[in-house]
């Protein structure tokens, strides 16, 4: 018997629908997953098998074929565990459920508990665009999913609880968001610009830079307060709007950096990477590109302390993002674009200026 469950993948910062097709046929026990799965998806076979058995259901001892369509889209991550398990149970006629118009994502533990997955916000956003009315997500991710209006969010704590819900035994109540968007009006920062005393000329320059979203470099001896001033810069930037907050939250959701107790990023980001960072870590990259530090600083501040210590190639890759306010990363699999609208702050000591001079001027300055 054939069963189909709709799931979702994340490509860059956008979602892409994935149809999980499960077919059970006669033959010796063997489970194969096709559709360009990565290692994490291939390992779903063991997780799904144990989760089904520990949820008081039978795992079929016949030939099982799982297809993740479209087949030319690379699938990565454990988000397909839950739809695979549902497809197997439906194809083996252990449960009867109509999941048309529903989207299902979640990672399964061996005891059937549904774990957190990254990228819930872009997945639910895509579901609304495609006309899907109901999403089944891990219970810990329900507050994040509920940020998208017009979607019925079903928090799933375990595979057994979802089976009982689909069978009509114990209903899962839709999650109703309790998040107050008015909290965006008064964010609190660890370093407040108003609490800094002295350095009036630097504070005035930083106010001008913040008002026009300009770049700024501070030069001074160690202990002058450069890092403290930089960390307080987000507190004088305009407050995040709702759309801006959702835009920043989507980046942190895909990167797996969203705090579990805070479904929405309410403060301007502040990123201060170490000078040993690679250019891929700064602008984004990887086998399948992920957002870098400049995208994590989107709508906020990127602080480069001890600027001369950064590699020349690392600094050169900042040229295009500073001009275009986005970064485009091309790979053989495709091209992805990440937002990168940030305020750049840099700091260094006076002797660091010598390192930025040409060699002949450096020798003259050293003498």
Name the domain count of the chain.
Answer: 2
What's the rounded mean pLDDT across residues 168-195? 79
Of 167, 201, 222, which residue constitutes the final position of a domain?
A: 167
Residues 94 and 228 in one domain: no
What's the rounded mean pLDDT across residues 153-180? 91
Tokens 């439906």, located at residue:
90
pTM, 2 dp: 0.88
Using CA atoms, how far residue 307 sits from 77, 312, 359, in Å, is 36, 10, 18
Q: What is the three-class DSSP state of 218? A: strand
CATH of the domain at 122: 3.30.230.10
- Give pLDDT, residue 365: 42
Task: Give yes or no for residue 293 having a pLDDT over 50.
Answer: yes
Residues 354 and 298 in one domain: yes
List the structure tokens of 172: 């899962």
> What is the tens place of the pLDDT at every residue in 327-347?
998 877 778 899 999 999 999
Residue 227 lies in a domain: yes
- Structural domain containing residue 340: 182-366
- Give pLDDT, residue 110: 96
Q: Which residues pair with 37 in a beta bridge?
A: 75
Residue 175 lies in a domain: no
What's the rounded mean pLDDT across residues 141-164? 94
Of 118, 136, 167, which residue constitutes the final position of a domain?
A: 167
Which of 123-127, 148-152, 349-353, 361-365 is predicted least confidently? Answer: 361-365
Task: Give yes or no for residue 351 having a pLDDT over 60.
Answer: yes
Residue 176 lies in a domain: no
Task: Give yes or no for residue 282 having a pLDDT over 90.
Answer: yes
Q: What is the three-class DSSP state of 64? A: strand
Compute φ and ψ for 251, nearest 5 degrees. -65, -45
CA 292 to CA 287: how far, in whole Å? 13
Residues 156 and 228 in one domain: no
What's the rounded mean pLDDT across residues 17-33? 93
Residues 210 and 109 in one domain: no
Residues 224 and 306 in one domain: yes
Residues 60 and 186 in one domain: no
> What is the tens place of the pLDDT at every residue in 216-267?
999 888 888 899 999 999 999 988 888 999 999 999 999 999 987 788 888 8
- Give pLDDT, residue 364: 40
What's the rounded mean pLDDT across residues 340-365? 67
CA 171 to CA 191: how far, in whole Å? 46
Q: Which residues pair with 1 in a beta bridge?
A: none
- Give pLDDT, residue 358: 53
As a whole number, the mean pLDDT across the chain is 89
Cβ distance 7 to 119 under 8 Å?
no
Compute φ and ψ for 243, nearest 5 degrees. -65, -40
- Give pLDDT, residue 361: 42
pLDDT band at 360 (very low <50, low <70, confident <90, very high): very low
CATH of the domain at 329: 3.40.50.300
């Amino acid at each position: 018997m054939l069963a189909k469950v709709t799931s979702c993948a994340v490509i860059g910062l956008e979602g892409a629908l994935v149809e999980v097709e499960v077919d059970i046929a006669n033959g010796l026990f063997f489970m194969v997953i096709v559709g360009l799965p990565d290692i994490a998806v291939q390992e779903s076979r063991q997780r799904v098998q144990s989760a089904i058995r520990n949820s008081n259901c039978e795992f079929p001892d016949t030939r099982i074929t799982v297809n993740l369509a479209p087949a030319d889209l690379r699938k990565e991550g454990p988000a397909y565990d839950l739809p695979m398990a549902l497809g197997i149970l439906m194809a083996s006629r252990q449960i009867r459920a109509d999941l048309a118009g529903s989207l299902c994502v979640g990672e399964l533990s061996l005891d059937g508990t549904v774990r957190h997955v990254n990228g819930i916000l872009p997945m639910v956003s895509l579901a609304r665009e495609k006309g899907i009315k109901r999403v089944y997500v891990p219970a810990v991710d329900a507050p994040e999913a509920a940020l998208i209006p017009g979607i019925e969010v079903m928090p799933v704590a375990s595979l057994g609880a979802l089976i009982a819900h689909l069978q009509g035994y114990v209903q899962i109540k839709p999650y109703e968001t309790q998040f107050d968007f008015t909290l965006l009006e008064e964010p609190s920062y660890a370093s407040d610009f108003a609490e800094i005393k002295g350095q009036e000329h630097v504070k005035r320059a930083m106010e001008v830079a913040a008002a026009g979203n300009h770049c700024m470099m501070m030069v001074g001896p160690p202990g002058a307060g450069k890092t403290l001033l930089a960390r307080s810069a987000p507190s004088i930037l305009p407050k995040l709007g709702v759309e801006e907050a959702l835009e920043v939250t989507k980046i942190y959701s895909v990167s797996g950096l969203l705090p579990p107790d805070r479904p929405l990023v309410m403060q301007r980001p502040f990123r201060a990477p170490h000078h040993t960072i690679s250019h891929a870590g700064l602008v984004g990259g990887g086998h399948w590109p992920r957002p870098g530090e400049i995208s994590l600083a989107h709508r906020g501040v990127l602080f480069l302390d001890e600027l001369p210590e950064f590699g020349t190639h690392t600094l050169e890759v900042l040229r295009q993002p500073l001009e275009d306010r986005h970064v485009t990363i091309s790979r053989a699999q495709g091209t992805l674009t990440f937002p990168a609208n940030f305020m750049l702050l840099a700091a260094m000591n006076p002797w660091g200026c010598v390192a930025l001079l040409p060699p002949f001027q450096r020798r003259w300055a050293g003498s």
